[in-house]
Each structure stands twice: as structure tokens, then as C-alpha cells.
Amino acid sequence: MPNTYTLISSNVLGSSAASVTFSAIPSTYTDLVLKASTRNSSGGTCVIATTFNGQASGYSVTRLRGTGSSASSGRTSSATYLYFSLTDSTYTANTFSNWEMYLPNYLSTTSKPVSNFSVTENNATASYIDVNAGLSNITSAITSVTLTADGDTFVSGSSFYLYGIKNS
Amino acid sequence: MPATYEPIATTTLGSAAASITFSSIASSWTDLRLVLVATASGGTKFLRFNSSTTGYSNTWILGDGSSATSGRSTSYPRLDLNSQDTGDSTPSLDTVDVFSYAGSTNKTCLMTSSHDENGSGQVMRQVGLWANTAAITQIDLLLSSSNTWSAGTTATLYGIKNA
């Protein structure tokens, strides 16, 4: 049987960048997995804004968050991006947040459900664990994914890996 | 490097069906991973191992967009995936990781359920237990109350090998 968990592309930043895009994603696979380790440059907490195919509409997220002292849930609807994860410039130096997004059936002609899991840990307060259910109303194949440090930049050393999973 | 993440079987429903079954699962791998992208006519999504109707328990945490809750089921006849994300046309994503499925200890699994509907929906994480020492050779995906999986629903079972 073939190995089906394959690295499509990676990007380890050599200098700060406002966004990272994986484009020309091949239609070779069934599902996509995106893993990232990020830290932002300034401004405290920062959202990693995720969009597909350059589309800036039709996203929503249901979120479950643990802060180390309490759990809560929230929602973003009819948004311009998938509101995923946090990265924080105030954390201890060299501490990055980590997250994973699972996008099944990215070639399908239906809306796309997404699962996301992200953590920020700082050996202190103000750390988070987020699990998110996301939805994109894009009904065409996903050919590009853009991650933007909303209003900020990802620092050098932030890393992004896109994997393809094939079910046959 | 050997292949360690392999597709065992996949199903895409061409028409509505009451169940999706993966049977004759070989003991070739260490862990199993199930990925389900589904719509259904209604009811609660659940699974059973080896057609067993006893010995299941789970502990979950759930966010519904306004509050976070946690609960537990014990001595249950099935493992529920998520009780409130069927009966609409928006696909949900569920994953189940079953550890040491061919071993001789009780079987534990981690389950995720993601179902956002642009204004409603839930996100859920669970730990599940099947208190049975038999190797898992079959997984049935089912719905309560005689509901059916909709056409287009996909389910894939992967095997993960640690060597």
C-alpha cells in the first residue's frame, strides 16, 4: 500500500512576513493537513487569519477555549476569514504557538468543514488551548491557502507545513 | 522510510445508507484513524466495534458557540460521535483515533467532531473507551432512530504503524 501522508510544501520564514500562501495545491490528494509554529512581531495577541483561494467571505467558526482557569465557547459568523488560533508577541522569547488544521475533501463541490487545534503555552498565565470547527462556503476545489498574521507579521523562524493525505 | 500512514478502506455513499461498515480489519497496524465527512437525515451519530453493544464509555467537552460544557456516559451501548449535528446539508467532520486496536487490553480512542453552520454548530473533543480486550476487526458507523447517512458521505479508515 502507498504511503499517503505526504509533505506538499513547507515554508520556514527567514525573515518576518505578514502572510504565507501555499498556492497551486495539486489535486492529487483527498485531505489536507496544515501544521504551523508561529509567533507574531508586535501587539500582543494576534489572530492567524486563514483564507482559501483568495476568497474573503463565507467563513464561520465555532470555538472552544481553555485558558488554564476556565473554558468558554464563542462563534464568528459570515466572516472574511477563518478566525483560527492565536500567537502572542508578549510571551517568553523563543516561545511559539502551534496549530494544526485538517481540511477533508478539499476537492469536493460542497462547502468545506474544517477542524483546527491550536495552543499557546508560556509557562505563565494568558495561555490558551483552542479547538475550532470551521466552515467555508467555497464549493470549488481548494487550490490555495493563505495564512495572515492579522494586523501584524510572523517572526523569522515561524514554520508552516502543508501535507496531503490520500485515501487510496 | 516505511509507509506508516496507509489507507485501509474508503466509502463514498452513492445513495443514502443506514450504516457504513469497515470489516475484516487486519492486525497489520498499530493504531487506526477514521475520518468521516458526513451529512445525515437526523439522529445521533455513533459507532460500535465488532458489533458489540456493551462496554462503552466516554468523557467529552463541547462548545456550542455560547458556552463550554463537559459530560460523561458510562456503561453505554455505543460510542456517540456528536448528537446535534445531523439533519442538515452542511457536512461535518469527525475523526476517531483508536490506539493499539489489535492488542489485548481495553481499547481507548480520541474523537473529534467539528460542525460549524455559520451561526450555529458545535465543536467537541472526547476520550472514549471500549472495555473489551478483543482485537478490533470491525467498525460500524450508525445513526439512531433509523436515520440514514446521506449520499456523498465519505468515510476512510487509515492504519498507522509504529515500525
Span B13-72, pLDDT tens digits: 999 999 999 999 999 999 999 999 999 999 999 999 999 999 999 999 999 999 999 999
Do A102 and B125 count as a contact with CB atoms less than 8 A apart? Answer: no
When pLDDT is averaged across residues A158-168 and rounded to a whole number, the result is: 95
Residue A110 is nearest to which of B61, B70, B91, comparing CB atoms?
B91
Q: What's the pLDDT score for residue B127?
A: 97
What residues of B are in contact with residue A65 (Cβ under 8 Å)?
63, 68
CA atoms of A118 and A100, how far apart (whole Å): 6
If pLDDT is split at 50, 70 and 90, which confidence band does A83 have? confident
Inside any domain, residue A3: no
Q: What's the pLDDT score for residue B25?
A: 98
Q: What's the pLDDT score for residue A168?
A: 83
Inside any domain, residue A7: no
Burial of B89 (0-12, 13-18, 19+ CB in 10 A): exposed
- Domain borders along chain B are 5-160
CA angle, B18 then B21 then B27, to 5° = 165
The pLDDT tens digits of the residues spanning A23-71 come to 999 999 999 999 999 999 887 777 889 999 999 999 999 999 998 899 9
CA atoms of B134 and A84, how far apart (whole Å): 40
CB-based contact (8 Å) between A123 and chain B?
no
Q: What's the pLDDT score for residue B83?
A: 62
Q: A76 near A57, Cβ under 8 Å?
A: no
Does the pLDDT value for residue A1 go beyond 60? no
CA atoms of A162 and A8, how far apart (whole Å): 6
What residues of A are in contact with residue B124 (Cβ under 8 Å)?
64
Helix (H, G, I), strand (E, B) or coil at B161: coil
Nearest CA in chain B to A71: B68
Do B65 and A1 count as a contact with CB atoms less than 8 A apart? Answer: no
Dihedral pair phi/psi, residue B153, rounded to 5°: -60, 135
What residues of A are in contact with residue B67 (Cβ under 8 Å)?
72-73
Q: Please give the interface size between A and B, counted as residue pairs whose CB atoms are below 8 Å apart.
A: 140
Inside any domain, residue A4: no
Do A4 and B154 count as a contact with CB atoms less than 8 A apart? Answer: no
Inside any domain, residue A1: no
Q: What's the pLDDT score for residue A2?
A: 57
Residue B65 is nearest to which of A75, A135, A166, comparing CB atoms?
A75
The pLDDT tens digits of the residues spanning A105-120 come to 999 999 999 999 999 8
Our count of domains for chain A comes to 1
What residues of A are in contact with residue B152 (Cβ under 8 Å)?
110
The complex's ipTM works out to: 0.93
Residue A168 is nearest to which of B10, B35, B119, comparing CB atoms?
B10
CB-based contact (8 Å) between B117 and chain A?
yes
CA atoms of B1 and B93, how far apart (whole Å): 30
Percent of chain B clearing pLDDT 70 (strictly above): 96
Inside any domain, residue A5: no
User: Residue A47 belongs to what domain range?
Assistant: 12-162
What residues of A are in contact with residue B64 (Cβ under 8 Å)?
62, 73
User: What is the CB neighbour count within 10 angstroms for residue A98?
Assistant: 16
What is the least distance, in Å, from the CA of A120 to any CA of chain B? Answer: 18
Task: Give the CATH number of domain B5-160.
Answer: 2.60.120
Do B68 and A62 count as a contact with CB atoms less than 8 A apart? Answer: no
Domain at A124, CATH number: 2.60.120
**How much is the pTM?**
0.95
